[in-house]
Amino acid sequence: MSLISIRQIRYFWHYFKMDTILFLLIISLSAFGLVVLYSASAGSMQMIYKQMIHFAIAISVMLVIAQIPPYQFKRYSPYLMLFGIFLLLLVILFGSKSGGAQRWLDLGFVRFQPSELMKVIVPIAIASILSEKTLPPKPLSILLSLISIIIIVFLIAKQPDLGTSLLIGASGFYVLFFSGVRIQLIRNNWLNFGLISSFVVGSGYIAWNYLLIAYQKKRILTLIDPSSDPLGSGYHILQSKIAIGSGGLFGKGLEQGSQSQLNFLPEHTTDFIFSVIAEELGFLGIVFLLTIYGLIIYRGFVISFQSEDNFSKLLGASLIMVFFTYVFVNIGMVSGLLPVVGVPLPLVSYGGSSLITLMSSFGIIMSIRKHKTPRYLSKL
């Protein structure tokens, strides 16, 4: 009887095309996140139940997406991109406002943020453009990719949501990087470096004087000197640094952190949950967290580089780099190394929409793993 059950489970697992190693790492980190979230919310089971529902929905989405062969993503990538741009235009024209930003579409029964979809759509579309020919890509493909990225970044920045727009722009540039694009304006390396440096400095000047709005400038200035406004814009960072520094080697213990339990630390169940981990579980808890993140990233790159076509390689590697970027930005943000941009800690922070987007990315990576055979290439 037990042998029959094991065979049935193995058949079910193989049928739904789940990568065992990656799946177990995701579940392990998610379970760790639930424990930390329980502590950060002062034992609120209602929040835990909601997060478990979010996980159930997100894993179901991942399961469904894992069944779709990569060539289908490539085939429908132009339509996905056009659909995403259409939704972003609807946000600008008819989107609902909250906190001074217009980022959501309210359909009555649900309100969602189209920019979340672009976190997956942009890498798919750019990977499709650049993998049409042999790598490295031709100048026309590079130009088309850059135009697509700039349009998406502009539409999201208009909401305004500069942090998300830059992160989504980075997801497109990751595909360009993995495709082998070289930035070389002229043959002389030193002059080439000088021109690129001048472009970066000029872009920064234009952005600061003409593109960034007041609160975005304030975040950058707060990063440089958070103590200049300790009860205002610098409050989050200062409290976060206190929480991180007070954890020591072993931490204060679950539900024992003063910064989170006494509500000194804002957003301690979402954006600043890393500070809770550092305070309550200490350096060892952070090492465990970063180890799981590192294993997930490593496994994702292994799956991507073992695929047998350029589209899957570019798409898988860029999605893993996006995952790494969100981890890096969140930890840098709460540590005072980067401006506060409202990026959740993947698989740990409370929330539903970002979790579903993240699991969708993992579903694509699992699809790449289980559809490695090049037979589908003949269908393109």
Cα of 266 vs its chain's centroid, Å: 22
Mean pLDDT, residues 46-65:
90
CB 349 within 8 A of CB 51: no
In this prediction, residue 298 carries a pLDDT of 94
Phi-psi region of 255 (alpha: psi -120 to 50; beta: other; left: phi over 0): left
In this prediction, residue 112 carries a pLDDT of 76
Phi-psi region of 201 (alpha: psi -120 to 50; beta: other; left: phi over 0): alpha
Most confident stretch, 227-231, 306-310, 362-366, 372-376: 362-366
CB 237 within 8 A of CB 332: no
Q: What is the pLDDT of residues 263-298, one digit of tens each?
A: 778 877 888 889 889 998 989 999 999 999 999 999
In this prediction, residue 100 carries a pLDDT of 66
CB 380 within 8 A of CB 71: yes
In this prediction, residue 14 carries a pLDDT of 62
Torsions phi, psi for 248 (to 5 deg): 65, -150
Mean pLDDT, residues 177-182:
80
Per-residue pLDDT band for 377 (boundaries 50, 70, 90) equals very low
Tally of CB atoms within 10 A around 60 = 13
Identify the residue with better confidence: 8 or 320. Answer: 320
Q: Lowest-pLDDT range, 21-30, 120-129, 294-303, 366-375? A: 366-375
Identify the residue with better confidence: 95 or 110. Answer: 95
- Examine the pLDDT at 354 and tell me if it is beyond 90: no
Identify the residue with better confidence: 246 or 293. Answer: 293
Mean pLDDT score of the chain: 82
Tally of CB atoms within 10 A around 358 = 25
- Examine the pLDDT at 373 and tell me if it is beyond 60: no
In this prediction, residue 220 carries a pLDDT of 72
How much of the chain exceeds pLDDT 90, in percent? Answer: 24
Report the alpha-carbon distance of residue 118 to residue 108 in Å, rounded.
22
Mean pLDDT, residues 36-46:
83
Identify the residue with better confidence: 276 or 235. Answer: 276
Sheet holding 96-98, edge to edge: 96-98, 101-106, 111-112
Residue 111 β-bridge partners: 106
Report the alpha-carbon distance of residue 33 to residue 16 in Å, rounded.
25
Closest residue by Cα to residue 32 from 312, 346, 308: 346
First and final C-alpha spacing in the chain: 45
In this prediction, residue 292 carries a pLDDT of 95
The residue whose two tokens read 């990569």 is 70
In this prediction, residue 143 carries a pLDDT of 86
In this prediction, residue 12 carries a pLDDT of 61
Q: What secondary structure letter does DSSP report for 207? A: I
Q: Lowest-pLDDT range, 117-121, 133-137, 209-213? A: 209-213
Most confident stretch, 23-27, 42-46, 245-249: 23-27
* This prediction's pTM: 0.88
In this prediction, residue 260 carries a pLDDT of 76
Q: What is the pLDDT of residues 191-212, one digit of tens each?
A: 666 777 777 777 776 766 666 6
Residue 106 β-bridge partners: 111
Report the alpha-carbon distance of residue 77 to residue 83 in Å, rounded.
10
- For 128, the token pair is 């499709």
